[in-house]
């Protein structure tokens, strides 16, 4: 018998538990490329809440693309001896549920995946057929998606004639065509100018608000990572930092940057600063400039000017940025590739 009674406490608790279930659960994920004998991922553990936005930052070779390939089901994780990785996406185990996962996953690749000889609409029709969409469904969805990414007026143009930024938005329309629950993007703004990047992100944000999409993105750009709910920093296949951008910066100390006229003087000042103020020297971004992360920034700044004012060309004290967090945790200079 069915009733219209309000859900019991147990039902409500059960529904809340379902809602609270993370969209992505990664436990003990390792991957070794057997031929090269490279351990590209080493015991990665992550949770992605449903509807959240996670950015994966890391230097070249840190394992970002490997993580992307595994989560998009293109590569099967090898694990490590004695440890079977467990990856669950929308409740499906990646090892046995890859087909079900693909139906609910949208993917934006770093390199173009659209046929440049076909129009935007023709590309989307092809994509729709891959997902088994019917004619009427496609006729409804394609204009909807093109409008969402601001490409309605270019629908019948050949993809090869679009600017880099518009082509990226066409890629986004393609990835969202089948209404996925999770969108995974691999460095989506590589080579795109700042205005086009902003438009791409506005389209994606609008889609997130509309549909509650869960987003995972690998990136080299800290300004993109700033917009994420959770930032994961990868280095040599391991997660070396994780948290909201604000929490990651709050865990870091102020950064004092000192430049001198003379390289020997710089060495002396940097060593003294580390010894006196217990700072950590960050990788050198600009030749002849030492950057030191320390707790007593203001006192250190005064000390540099009092003791070494004559040798100093410039000295600045800044709040930590995500670049600083990246450099401290990976030991690698942050480069915008
Ligand atoms: N197909 C492959 N065969 C062998 N080794 C690989 C393969 N792909 C990646 N690797 C190695 O695995 C490690 C991680 O590479 P991966 O491409 O995942 O890093 P990444 O963070 O995406 O780097 P990038 O930013 O340069 O794309 C590197 O040491 C890389 O050389």
Q: Is 212 left (phi over 0), alpha (psi -120 to 50) or beta?
A: left
**Mean pLDDT of the region 102-107:** 94
Query: pLDDT tens digit string along 128-141?
Result: 998 888 888 999 99
Model pLDDT, residue 156: 97
Query: pLDDT tens digit string along 179-238?
Result: 999 999 998 887 788 888 888 888 899 889 888 999 999 988 888 899 999 999 999 999
Q: Whose CA is nearest to atom 12 of ligand 1?
A: 40
Q: Is the pLDDT of residue 294 over 80?
A: yes
Bridging pattern class, strands 24-33 and 86-89:
antiparallel
Q: Is the CB of 61 under 6 A from ligand 1?
A: yes
Cross-strand pairs, 182: 105, 214
User: Which CATH number does the domain 253-319 belong to among 3.40.50.10860, 3.30.70.330, 3.40.50.1820, 3.40.50.300?
Assistant: 3.30.70.330
Only one residue has tokens 């296949």, namely 237
Model pLDDT, residue 135: 85
Q: Is the CB of 32 under 6 A from ligand 1?
A: no
Q: Is the CB of 20 under 6 A from ligand 1?
A: no
Q: How many CA atoms lie within 13 A of 123 on its CB side?
A: 27
At the topology level, CATH places domain 51-66+98-248 in Rossmann fold (3.40.50)
Share of the chain above pLDDT 70, in %: 93
Separation of alpha carbons 236 and 64, rounded Å: 10
Map residue 39 onto helix, strand or coil: strand
The preferred substitution site among 32, 38, 216 for testing ligand 1, maximizing ligand atoms within 8 Å of CB, is: 38
Class of residue 173 by CB neighbours under 10 A (exposed 0-12, middle 13-18, buried 19+)? buried
Model pLDDT, residue 224: 86
What is the residue extent of each domain of the chain? Answer: 51-66+98-248, 253-319
Distance of CA 117 to the CA centre of its chain: 31
pTM for this entry: 0.84
Q: Which two tokens stand for residue 254?
A: 């102020």
The preferred substitution site among 66, 68, 333 for testing ligand 1, maximizing ligand atoms within 8 Å of CB, is: 66
Map residue 226 onto helix, strand or coil: coil
Bridging pattern class, strands 238-243 and 230-235:
antiparallel
Q: What is the mean pLDDT of the chain?
A: 88
Is ipTM over 0.95? yes
Model pLDDT, residue 66: 95
């Amino acid at each position: 018998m069915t009733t219209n009674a309000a859900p019991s406490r147990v039902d409500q608790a059960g529904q809340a538990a379902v809602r609270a279930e993370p969209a992505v659960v990664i436990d003990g994920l390792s991957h070794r490329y057997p031929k090269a004998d490279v351990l590209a991922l080493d015991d990665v553990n992550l949770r992605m809440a449903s509807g959240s936005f996670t950015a994966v930052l890391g230097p070249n070779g840190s394992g970002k693309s490997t993580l992307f390939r595994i989560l998009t089901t293109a590569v099967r994780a090898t694990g490590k001896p004695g440890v079977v990785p467990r990856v669950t996406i929308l409740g499906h185990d990646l090892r046995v549920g890859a087909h079900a996962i693909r139906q609910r996953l949208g993917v934006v690749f770093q390199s173009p995946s659209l046929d440049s000889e076909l129009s935007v609409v023709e590309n989307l029709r092809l994509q729709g057929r891959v997902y088994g969409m019917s004619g009427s469904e496609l006729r409804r969805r394609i204009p909807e998606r093109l409008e969402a990414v601001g490409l309605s007026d270019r629908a019948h143009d050949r993809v090869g004639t679009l600017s880099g930024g518009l082509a990226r938005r066409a890629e986004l329309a393609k990835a969202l065509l089948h209404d996925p629950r999770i969108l995974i993007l691999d460095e989506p703004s590589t080579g795109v100018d700042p205005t086009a990047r902003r438009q791409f992100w506005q389209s994606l944000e609008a889609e997130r608000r509309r549909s509650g999409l869960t987003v995972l993105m690998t990136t080299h750009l800290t300004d993109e990572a700033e917009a994420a709910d959770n930032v994961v920093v990868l280095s040599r296949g391991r997660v070396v930092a994780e948290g909201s951008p604000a929490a990651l910066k709050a865990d870091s100390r102020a950064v004092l940057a000192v430049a001198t006229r003379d390289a020997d003087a710089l060495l002396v000042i940097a060593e003294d600063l580390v010894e006196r103020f217990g700072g950590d020297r960050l990788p050198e971004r600009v030749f002849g400039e030492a950057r030191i992360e320390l707790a007593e920034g203001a006192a250190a700044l005064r000390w540099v000017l009092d003791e070494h004012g004559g040798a100093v060309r410039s000295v600045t004290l800044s709040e930590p940025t995500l670049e600083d967090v990246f450099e401290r945790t990976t030991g690698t200079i942050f480069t915008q590739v």
